[in-house]
Structure 1
Amino acid sequence: MSSPRGNLKRTGGRKPNTLLVSQGDSKLTHDPRRSGVPISRAGWRWAGALVLAVAANIAAGSALAQPRAPDPKDWPAVLAAARSETVYWNAWAGEPRINAYIAWVGEEVSRRFGVTLVEVKLADTSDAVAKVVAEKVAGRIEGGAVDLIWINGPNFASMQQNGLLLGGWAEELPNFRYVDPARNPLVRSDFTVPTQGAESPWGMAQIVFYYDAARLKGPPRSIAALRDWACANRGRFTYPEPPDFLGATFLKQALIALTPDPSRLQRPVSDSDFAEVTAPLWAYLDALRPCLWHGGRAYPDNQAALRPLLADDEIDLAFAFDPSAASAAIASRDLPQTVRSYVLDGGTIGNANFVAIPFNAAHKAAAMVVADFLLSPEAQARKQDPNVWGGFTVLSMDRLSPADRARFAALDLGIATPSLAELGTPLPEPHPSWMSRIIEDWRKRYAAN
Structure 2
Amino acid sequence: MKKCIKILSISFLLSLVFNLTNVFAEEAEKVKRLSFEEMIELAKGSQVNFYGWGGDEKLNQWLDEVYGVKLKEKYDITLNRIPMDIDQILSQLVSEKQAKITESEIDMIWINGENFKSARENDLLFGPFTEKLPNYIKYIDRKELENIKDFGFPIEGYEAPYSKAQLVLIKDSAITQETPKNAEELLRYAKENPGMFTYPALPDFTGSAFVRNIIYQFVDYQEFQNMDVNKEKLKEVIKPALDYLKELSPYLWNQGKTYPSDGPALNNLFMDEEVNFYITYTANEVADSIKDGTYPSTAQSFIFDKGTVGNTNYIAIGKNSANKAAAIVAINEMLSPDMQLSKYEHLGLIPVIDDKRIDDQTKVEFKALENEKGTIPQDELLAKRLPEMPAQLIPLIEEIWLEEVAGN
TM more than 0.5: yes
Report matched runs for 1:158-197 at 5 Å. Answer: 158-176=118-136, 177-182=138-143, 184-197=144-157
In 2: Cα distance, 1:262 partner to 1:446 partner: 21
Whether 2:378 is the aligned partner of 1:420: answer yes
Aligned to 1:363: 323
Could you say which residue in structure 2 is the equivalent of 1:76?
Answer: 37
CA distance in 2, matches of 1:378, 1:262: 34
Partner of 2:289: 329
Q: Mind listing any 5+ residue stretches in structure 1 that lack a counterpart?
A: 1-63
2:80 paired residue number: 118
Runs of 4+ in 1 over 6 A off after TM superposition: none
Q: 1:239 aligns with which of 185, 199, 207?
A: 199
Paired amino acid for 2:116: F
Distance 1:393 1:413 in 2: 16
- 2:75 corresponds to 1:105: no
Partner of 2:358: 400
Matched, 1:353 2:313: yes
Asked if the contact 2:235/2:400 (under 8 Å) is kept, the reply is no
Q: CA 1:321–1:413 in structure 2 vs 1: closer, same or farther (change >3 Å)? A: farther
1:209 to 169, 184, 187: 169
Q: TM-score, normalised by structure 1?
A: 0.81
Q: Shift of the alpha carbon at 1:262?
A: 2.6
SS, match of residue 340 in structure 2: helix
Find the counterpart in structure 2 of residue 442 from structure 1.
Answer: 401
| Structure 1 residues 299-350: Cα deviation after superposition (integer angstroms, max 9, x where no partner) | 1122211122222221112211121111121112111111111110111100
Match status 1:264 vs 2:212 = no
Superimposed CA distance per residue, residues 239-262 of structure 1 (whole angstroms, 9 cap, x where no aligned partner): 011111000111111112222x43
Q: Secondary structure at the match of 2:110?
A: strand
Match of 1:341 among 298, 301, 306: 301
SS of the equivalent of 2:314 reads strand
Residue type matched to 2:312 in 1? Answer: A
> How many angstroms apart in 1 are the aligned matches of 2:123 and 2:366?
37
CA contact (8 A) 1:210 1:340 kept: yes
- RMSD across aligned C-alpha pairs, in angstroms? 1.9
> C-alpha separation between the residues in 1 aligned to 2:368 and 2:166?
22
Residue 117 (structure 2) pairs with residue 148 (structure 1): no
Deviation at 1:72, TM superposition (A): 7.0
- How far apart are residue 446 of structure 1 and its match? 4.6
Q: Is the Cα–Cα contact under 8 Å of residues 298 and 448 in structure 1 kept in the other structure?
A: no
Listed one character per residue, the Cα deviations across residues 361-420 of structure 1 (whole Å, up to 9, x for unaligned) are 1111111111001001111111110xx211111111221123433432343652111012
The one-letter code matched in structure 2 to 1:405 is K
Say whether the 8 Å CA contact 1:179–1:395 is kept in structure 2: yes
Seen in structure 2, the aligned counterparts of structure 1 residues 344 and 73 have a Cα distance that, compared at 3 Å, is farther
Contact 2:165 2:350 in 1 (8 A): yes
Please point out which of 383, 386, 390 is paired with 1:431: 390
- Say how many residue pairs are matched: 380
Following superposition, the deviation at residue 73 of structure 1 comes to 6.3
CA-to-aligned-CA distance 1:250-307 (integer Å, 9 cap, x gap)? 1111112222x43221134224522211222221111111110000112112221112
How many angstroms apart in 1 are the aligned matches of 2:231 and 2:407?
26
More helix by share: 2
442 and 107 in structure 1: CA distance in 2 versus 1, 3 angstrom threshold: same
Task: Look up the equivalent residue of 1:265 and give its one-letter code.
Answer: F
- Tell me the secondary structure at the aligned position of residue 71 of structure 1: helix
Q: 2: distance between equivalents of 1:139 and 1:101?
A: 35
Equivalents in 1 of 2:177, 2:362: separation in Å? 39
